[in-house]
Structure 1
């Protein structure tokens, strides 16, 4: 977060290093829409800046913020002259104080090659974890705390002195009578925190929330730690500064600042701190030269003697290009977002599930909206939420959830293609008959050819009819016909599961259809794990006319148990 108000030159450098998916083709917008969309995004960025400067909180992650800045710059290049070249400055407010030494921020090195180039021009390099917290300046006069100032814009920030006096991590007095300025990060104390496994776990937001409380009790105050990452006018060498910082009462800062020699060591500690336990959340590492300019020359922009190499982003900003409403075998509607491709931890993400129709309705996601995507367990894309909405949003008409349920769509009828295909896929899949070489693509081809419009139509298909289906051919048709014929020999339990009864049934212990079709709710409730609701579902399933018709057809072709 210390990089948010970096100079425009550093943003241009970042644009040269970001992954290709971010540099997508220009949107197909009219001039008036482009002006509305760019103005809206610029306003959103300004609001995020105000929240961070005035409240010390981050409405979005650094990764999403950075990508939004890049997105704005790309759009600005697509539509030149629509907006000024820089974001408008954040205006001041009451309760602000000037930093005695500006907080500089950090340039970001996007990849190992950039780190190697940065290291090649420097010596006496030290490495720290980049603490994911809330930046603060502490001012001591004659060894006594007189001022605590939030990061703000690097020149001015909020006066946090009263809050700082309530934090055990911030000494009221130091073992010195000197005047000094320390810069560091408030962080949430965590136990054995592994960044690669759980990410930042909302640590920064939690700290910001605690700092914003009017009344902070002792237990809450003890959750906030302090990592001092610089002493602008401290001793000339890093060794001396670290030793003195530890003597002043900040030992963690000294123990986690290490001398490094070359990219291999930097890479090793970055990986170790990413995958190993630390007492706080991090979002990368910080490289610092031991020798640097005196604090009197510092400015509120990235210096040449320090830079950050962030961890692989766990969150990506993605544009929604379409919303699909999938209908499952049981009639459940599952919205799926189709995205403009984005790269996340080496993977290209093109779609993400919303979860439920109710969640989609609550989020109201439309094409053109920008959403945040993370990797759950580092493998599965997960929708975090809507970052901002497009100015122009098309209307969407999701399917009527009342039209789909566990007993709908046993035939290929209007509006039933999706659920009917899911029924066939379940029937032929490992949960049911486990038909070799038969998957959704095969069923779709048979449906498109008009050969399968009912759940069991495939049982009597001849090889000649199968040969006529585009893409099947003579050899595959013969194999399919043999597979379909052999399916009639499958045991009753497999066929029962293939029809898709409500869960909870133990078909292996049931010998025939008649013993199931005549059961009432009371008899079903005698089964282990079957409650009133499940019993009612089972009675409804076996009594349904479509299910009974399927059972009669299986009996006619000689399937055992029917």
Structure 2
């Protein structure tokens, strides 16, 4: 529903109607006027494409929450660069040929509990409803008979949905409402069986209804899957109690979901309950209403003062990519890491996210300035869902060649392009799965690497305490601690050294107590000992590699047992 509401808003009200960005994005982008003149129209055009697909074809190309954030992002950029500002044009197709008897007002959105407290303070006659996630409609009855169903469109005019409405069993063809006109505003939603919003999100339900109603014809079987939630009776009785009683008499079940509240805590309690309770529809928040409101003839297609929405926590957030880092693991796997403008998603502050693999990154072609969609996997780990839109300016990146990185590459820091993989080898060597060197982590290895003291994987064995103390950021105390930890590695068991150097998995094959015996095994010998064919080939290849044997010689000279 949020994007439909926006069609009716003047530009000055867009920021009010949109939810706050979940991104720490108050600062203006550091762009030249020329770049702003490219970026703002590009985003406006993207929003227009989303609008066209939604209103013309009934297809949602982007999640509602991301759409809202994109509109807010464009509004913020427009304030930063007024000369480049461009407002996406509302589609004529969205408006449609039929005038609503009473305008659909739309809803402003509360940012947080503090905003709720401020809105509720000093008010009475307040009511709360679920904000059903469907498509809005006006239903017009004359002398009890359904005569028109009008899509929301731009809030003033919409499409004629009357033929489709007659195929939807939830929309009564006849009401016992007596003579004259009766007008209802409601939401057509896709019926769901015991749907829990907190667990399943929107489940694509709104898009399903939008797609069906965008067709030229709706079958009765398809219409059976659509429900109706009547959320207002614009020209009904003056009080909420009377309107709800009237809707019950007419056979509608929405009054059961309209509850009186007195204070912000009551509102928050219903929001939490409906977020986690099984309901027959998807919902994306709640609506708080005054029981009394101005006469329907005065309603306008913009957010009113007597109703407001408070949405559920965002399942997805829009994030801007600052830089792209290509991390290379010790076995040569390249993982693109996206560094972001920090954002808050649920209760997590997120500043970076993995793109997964180099292949996926290439498919998405993510560059600095691109806007991506994030969600939390398992409520804690940020996950990249995809690219929402790309920056108009494409930044060139130095992408590592995957052909140059593999399990037997980068044994020396001085090899071109090997600093990352070599560092990963050091971190593995000193970690729990290797030599378990106390007090030595990635930062210490990086400092040693940056000092130029390490080129080979075992060069640290020759460092003196005085040499360490002379390095930037070390000092006598730290140098002593690091030196003692490094020297203690000489006493580690041979099998720990094998793991530290990255010996491939050996399956059920037992390892010998010395290097000479292991190196003498052929791939066939490893298989006979219990390794799989793949493991056997990897083991024999590793032990025969020249760089690995050079390391063995270095460790042998250093007096490490087993070499």
User: Structure 1 length as normaliser, TM-score?
Assistant: 0.89
Counterpart of 2:279 in structure 1 is: 278
Distance (Å, rounded) in 2 between the aligned partners of 1:308 and 1:92: 27
Report if the CA contact (8 A) 1:493-1:508 is conserved: no
Distance (Å, rounded) in 2 between the aligned partners of 1:240 and 1:415: 75
Post-superposition offset of 1:405: 1.0
Distance (Å, rounded) in 1 between the aligned partners of 2:416 and 2:126: 68
Residues 181, 422 of structure 1: alpha-carbon distance in 2 compared, 3 angstrom cutoff? same
Counterpart of 2:90 in structure 1 is: 89
Structure 1 unmatched ranges of 5 or more: none
Q: Does 1:61 align with 2:63?
A: yes
Counterpart of 1:208 in structure 2 is: 210
Aligned length, in residue pairs: 558
Residues 82, 480 of structure 1: alpha-carbon distance in 2 compared, 3 angstrom cutoff? closer
Report if the CA contact (8 A) 2:490-2:559 is conserved: yes
Residues 19-418 of structure 1: pairs in structure 2 closer than 5 A: 21-30=24-33, 32-83=34-85, 86-92=87-93, 96-120=97-121, 122-174=123-175, 176=177, 179-212=181-214, 221-251=223-253, 253-412=254-413, 413-418=415-420
Residues 456, 98 of structure 1: alpha-carbon distance in 2 compared, 3 angstrom cutoff? same
Residues 93, 481 of structure 1: alpha-carbon distance in 2 compared, 3 angstrom cutoff? closer
Report if the CA contact (8 A) 1:56-1:134 is conserved: no
Counterpart of 1:444 in structure 2 is: 446
Q: Give runs of ≥4 in structure 1 deviating > 6 Å.
A: 14-17, 214-219
Report if the CA contact (8 A) 1:53-1:153 is conserved: no
Residues 256, 480 of structure 1: alpha-carbon distance in 2 compared, 3 angstrom cutoff? same
Post-superposition offset of 1:329: 1.4
Post-superposition offset of 1:286: 0.3
Residues 4-19 of structure 1: pairs in structure 2 closer than 5 A: 4-5=6-7, 6-13=9-16
237-246 vs 425-434, which moves further: 237-246
Residues 561, 163 of structure 1: alpha-carbon distance in 2 compared, 3 angstrom cutoff? farther
Q: Does 1:454 align with 2:459?
A: no
Post-superposition offset of 1:354: 1.2
Post-superposition offset of 1:446: 1.2
Post-superposition offset of 1:409: 0.5
Question: Structure 1, residues 515-561: CA drift from partner, whole Å, max 9, x if none?
Answer: 54344445555687x65444433333233222233334444444444
69-78 vs 187-196, which moves further: 187-196
Q: Secondary structure at the match of 1:245?
A: helix
Question: Structure 1, residues 65-105: CA drift from partner, whole Å, max 9, x if none?
Answer: 33322322232222334446x54332237975333332211
Distance (Å, rounded) in 2 between the aligned partners of 1:399 and 1:382: 23
Structure 2 unmatched ranges of 5 or more: none
416-425 vs 56-65, which moves further: 56-65
Distance (Å, rounded) in 1 between the aligned partners of 2:13 and 2:124: 22
Distance (Å, rounded) in 2 between the aligned partners of 1:309 and 1:93: 25
Distance (Å, rounded) in 1 between the aligned partners of 2:182 and 2:36: 49
Report if the CA contact (8 A) 2:55-2:93 is conserved: no
Residues 3, 506 of structure 1: alpha-carbon distance in 2 compared, 3 angstrom cutoff? farther
Residues 81, 448 of structure 1: alpha-carbon distance in 2 compared, 3 angstrom cutoff? closer
User: Structure 2 length as normaliser, TM-score?
Assistant: 0.89
Specify which of 418, 421, 432 is matched with residue 419 of structure 1. Answer: 421
